[in-house]
Amino acid sequence: MIHIFVTLSEMERVSGWICSVLLVLICSNAPAQQTIDQHHIAFEIRNLFEVHGGVGNWDVGAHRAFHFREGLDFYAERGFREAWIDGDKLSCTAYEMRYEIQQCKFDGLDPEDYHLDAINIHFEAMENASRGLREPLTAIELAIMDVLLTDAFLELATHIYQGKVDPSHSVYGWEIQRKEPRKEVLTKLKIAIESGRVRNGVAALYPSFPMYSRMRRSLMDLFQNEKQMPRNWQKLAVAKSIKPLESNAAIPKIRERLDFWESSFMDSTVSPETYDSALLRRVQVFQEKHGLNPDGVIGNATIRALNKSPRDFILQATVNMERLRWLPDTVLSEVILVNIANYSMDYLRGKDTLLHSNAIVGQAYRKTPIFNAPMTYLVFSPTWTVPPTILRNDVIPAIKRNVGYLASKNMRLLTYSGQQVDPKSVDWSRITANNFPYMVRQDPGPSNSLGWVKFMFPNSYNVYIHDTPSRELFARDDRALSSGCIRIQKPLELAKLLLADQPLWSDDRILAAMYSRKEQTVMLKRKIPVVILYLTFWTDSRGIPMFRHDIYERDEELYKALSTSIPLIRGV
């Protein structure tokens, strides 16, 4: 279950306070260089903007900068006075800005995207000049350093707030309306400079979901895990599944791998190669963290998860933090949340989870789309009009092989005017997917593909949540099995919750309607947002990181985009 709905954690507030103290100590001891007339620096800052003119790429010295318009507005308002230099030395705010850039790797971002190399060079030069190890920086050098720090804040703040990568590219499959560019980024910069608190300005732009700060803490831990990772990270392999109490030569290596992730060491209570009860409990916990059936059987899915390195998990954390940054900041008091990669549906109201249900989602070649829409009604004992894709790929070929297919599935052949057609009267040798003049409808009943109820949130994908007659599939680890819609394990429980504000719909009446074999539509009294997400990593409310298999293979492509040196979105 995923909670995405408040402020930074207490841990992060405490660590932020400690960092602030350290920065004060550092910058209070920062050496000073020979003072340069501030009017000269202001002149050079103004000149950096004037020579560009706002057209084409903007180079500040030898460095590409990105926020000309916002930077110009910021400096013009302060008469082009420098923002990050305190008299004859770097300000505390400048050191804090550099620290924030360095720390952004825990947001899954690359510090090098925010002028870190250039800033380090200028900081070192200014500190060396203050110690008499080189000539003082010139007004133009100080102007370049100041403008780069400003541009770094604007770029980092924009990416923290809105994400670095544009999610509208089809390869990411993201159709949820993203945040609008936020003019407040420039306001946060002004406040940070006036108050001397860069950290507060950046943190205020984090996604409003408490899960984000928990994920940030988990990413810190993963970087620490990477430092402690054995040099010879071996891929584990088993010829067949290992069950509790069996002996297998791979058991010592499996125990060693769990020791690494748990930062502990535990000997076998029997013999090194025996899968004992102590190891069973550890394997079950590991399986739960990775969304696997915690049956303790060490099969291919468990071995695949055990083979993931800290770097693999850092990649997962990085791309999923970006996905959270794409989400609108609207805090929903009531929402039905589907996480495709977790094969789950949660009905949330406030901070309470009213219902958690296992789900079946689209296969890799018929992916469930990522989008949001309001649920407005449900249908008991639904008929199912076969959609074009399934008709073309599955039903028509099946009828051509066996004309009795429709009757066996409780389906009818209909004209578009609603007239029923006898399948035996059709010359199927002449029928193709392109000239098929009928529709196929499955009547309500125990074999209906939608089960006994469907939940509708009208959308362009023709995707909805529904029951299923194939209940045994919920026991599988891999539940990417549908043609795109979301099948849930607990449809009756969801129907009861949705109709709880309609007293006439008692539990008995709901059951009777479900199994009546007569289609009945019930409108909801209120629209309930449905959000369909794709998250392969998150940190739960207990602070435990959760990882899921990238069933649609989308993580790698997004990671490549995040790793590019040129950010893909601009402006605030």
Can you give the three-state secondary structure of 103-138, one letter per residue?
HHHHHCCCHHHHCHHHHHHHHHHHHHHHCCCCCCCC
| pLDDT value for 526 | 95
**What confidence tens digit (pLDDT) does each residue in 408-447 have?**
999 999 999 999 999 999 999 999 989 999 999 999 999 9
| pLDDT value for 172 | 82
- DSSP code per residue over 357-383: EEEEEE-TTSPPPB-EEEEEEEEES--
Token readout for 90 is 């770097």
**Tokens 């026991």 map to which residue?**
475
User: How many angstroms separate the CA atoms of 516 and 59, rounded?
Assistant: 71
- Domain range annotation of the chain: 10-210, 230-308, 330-542
CB of 400 within 8 A of CB of 428? yes
| pLDDT value for 178 | 76
Q: Is 56 left (phi over 0), alpha (psi -120 to 50) or beta?
A: left
**Residues in the chain, pLDDT under 50:** 4-15, 17-18, 567-572
Long-range contacts of 188-195 (CB under 8 A, 24+ apart): 188/157, 189/74, 189/150, 189/153, 189/154, 189/157, 190/74, 190/77, 192/93, 192/153, 193/83, 193/84, 193/93
Strand partners of residue 453: 380
Token readout for 107 is 């947001």
For 330-542, the fitting CATH number among 3.30.1050.10, 3.40.50.720, 2.40.440.10, 3.40.50.300 is 2.40.440.10
Strand partners of residue 413: 421, 440
Q: 230-308 maps to which CATH number?
A: 1.10.101.10
Could you tell me how many helices (H) and strands (E) the chain has, helices first? 19, 19
| pLDDT value for 572 | 35
| pLDDT value for 10 | 41
CB of 99 within 8 A of CB of 18? no
- What is the amino acid identity at position 438? Y
Distance of CA 2 to the CA centre of its chain: 11
